[in-house]
Amino acid sequence: MKQLRAYLNSLSTTDQAAFARRCGTTVGYLRKALSAGSALSEGLCINIERESKQQVRCEFLRPTGVDWAYIRGTSSLALADEA
pLDDT digits (tens, 9 = 90+) for 29-60: 999 999 999 999 999 999 999 999 999 999 99
Whether pLDDT at 82 is above 60: no
Q: Which residue range is the domain that position 46 belongs to?
A: 2-82
Does residue 27 contact residue 16 with C-beta atoms inside 8 Å?
yes
Instruction: Check residue 28 and give its pLDDT.
Output: 98
Residues whose CB is less than 8 angstroms from the CB of residue 1 and which lie 6 or more positions away in sequence, other chains included? 33, 34, 37, 60, 61
64-81 per-position pLDDT tens digit: 889 998 888 876 654 454
Number of domains in the chain: 1
What's this model's pTM, rounded to 2 decimal places?
Answer: 0.85
pLDDT at position 72 is 84
